[in-house]
């Protein structure tokens, strides 16, 4: 694969087209994104996200960036944790997802200590050494140039700050991978068709998971971006993993 092309699921597309294609997927699914997450994971995604927040060590007064934060479910938890002296920036590259997040948080009665920023993870519009914590849940695999995004995150973290990446990964339990394949490529598109009237977007999501770096590869990418102390935690047999890294 050269610099002029990249993967969109299993397809090869011109690099400059990937962001547009990903945007189309999330514009399509935004209004039913939370419902589909519950159905696809049988609600377990909430436990994965809770684990990620727990090991992030969010404290009162922290300044947090919830990157690719979508519908704001992590932001909703963390804004309560940072308190009146802290703040959370909910950021996403997709306007439909960000608007869904804003609506959801307002419905939950959250209107203070939250900022909404439309931003590209590869070119974050924030000062150097700005955030105590950056979280990114199920967003990194959709980024065209992951190395640039990780370097951008490293830049905006304060010294001593932490990055938490929750993402689908590679199953490590023997016998799990073939079962997971059947579920991903047969069941998910069917659920997308029945619930969201969009089978193709959920087929892309399944394919994007398979194209995402495995646990060790992503760890190496984080280290190459200047992050330290990188470790990861496999959840649900490695179907997802949480990577935690620090800026020293």
Question: Which residues lie closer than 8 Å to 8 by C-beta, 6 or more apart?
Answer: 17, 18, 21, 22, 204, 208
The C-alpha atoms of residue 114 and residue 107 are separated, in whole angstroms, by: 14
Which pTM value belongs to this model?
0.86
Q: Give the pLDDT confidence score for residue 144 in this predicted structure.
A: 87
Q: What is the mean pLDDT of the chain?
A: 87
**Range list of H helices, the chain:** 15-29, 33-41, 45-56, 73-82, 95-107, 146-156, 176-182, 188-196, 199-211, 215-224
Residue 75 among known ligand-binding residues: no
In order of start, what are the domains of the chain with their CATH numbers?
27-173+201-246 (3.40.50.150)
Asked if pLDDT for residue 203 goes beyond 80, the answer is no
Six token digits for residue 146? 């992951």
The C-alpha atoms of residue 64 and residue 61 are separated, in whole angstroms, by: 9
Angle at 65 between CA 5 and CA 119, to 5 degrees: 40
Higher pLDDT, 23 or 122: 122
Six token digits for residue 56? 């992030």
Rg (CA), the chain: 17
Q: Give the pLDDT confidence score for residue 33 in this predicted structure.
A: 64
Report which of 54, 35, 48, 69 is spatially closest to residue 240, judged by C-alpha positions.
48
Q: Give the pLDDT confidence score for residue 1 in this predicted structure.
A: 45
H helix or E strand, kind and range, residue 138: none
Residue 62 among known ligand-binding residues: no
H helix or E strand, kind and range, residue 140: none
The C-alpha atoms of residue 189 and residue 225 are separated, in whole angstroms, by: 35
Residue 120 among known ligand-binding residues: yes
User: What letter would DSSP give residue 62?
Assistant: -
Asked if pLDDT for residue 13 goes beyond 90, the answer is no
What's the pLDDT band for 8 if we cut at 50, 70, 90?
Answer: low
DSSP result, 181-241: HHIIIIIHHHHHHHHHS-HHHHHHHHHHHHHS--HHHHHHHHHHTT-EEEEEEEEGGGTEE
Residue 92 among known ligand-binding residues: yes
* CB neighbours of residue 217 within 10 Å: 12
Both ends of the chain: CA-CA distance in Å?
A: 33
Residues 89-138 have pLDDT tens digits of 999 998 888 998 999 999 999 988 999 999 999 999 999 999 999 999 98
């Amino acid at each position: 694969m050269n610099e002029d092309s990249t993967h969109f699921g299993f397809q090869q597309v011109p690099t400059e087209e990937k962001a547009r294609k990903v945007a189309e997927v999330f514009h399509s699914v935004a209004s039913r994104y939370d419902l589909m997450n519950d159905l696809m994971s049988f609600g377990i995604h909430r436990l994965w996200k809770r684990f990620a927040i727990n090991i992030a060590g969010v404290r009162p007064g922290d300044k947090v960036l919830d990157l690719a934060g979508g519908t704001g479910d992590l932001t909703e938890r963390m804004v309560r944790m940072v308190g009146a002296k802290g703040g959370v920036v909910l950021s996403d590259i997709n306007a439909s997802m960000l608007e869904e997040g804003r609506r959801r948080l307002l419905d939950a009665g959250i209107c203070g200590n939250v900022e909404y920023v439309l931003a590209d993870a590869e070119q974050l519009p924030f000062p150097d050494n700005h955030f105590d914590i950056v979280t990114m849940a199920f967003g990194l695999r959709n980024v065209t140039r992951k190395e640039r995004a990780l370097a951008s995150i490293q830049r905006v973290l304060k010294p001593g700050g932490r990055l938490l990446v929750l993402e689908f990964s590679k199953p490590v339990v023997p016998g799990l991978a073939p079962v997971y394949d059947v579920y991903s490529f047969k069941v998910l598109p069917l659920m997308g068709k029945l619930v969201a009237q969009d089978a193709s977007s959920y087929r892309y999501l399944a394919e994007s998971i398979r194209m995402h770096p495995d646990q060790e590869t992503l760890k190496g990418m984080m280290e190459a971006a200047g992050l330290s102390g990188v470790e990861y935690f496999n959840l649900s047999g490695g179907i997802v993993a949480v990577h935690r890294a620090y800026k020293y």
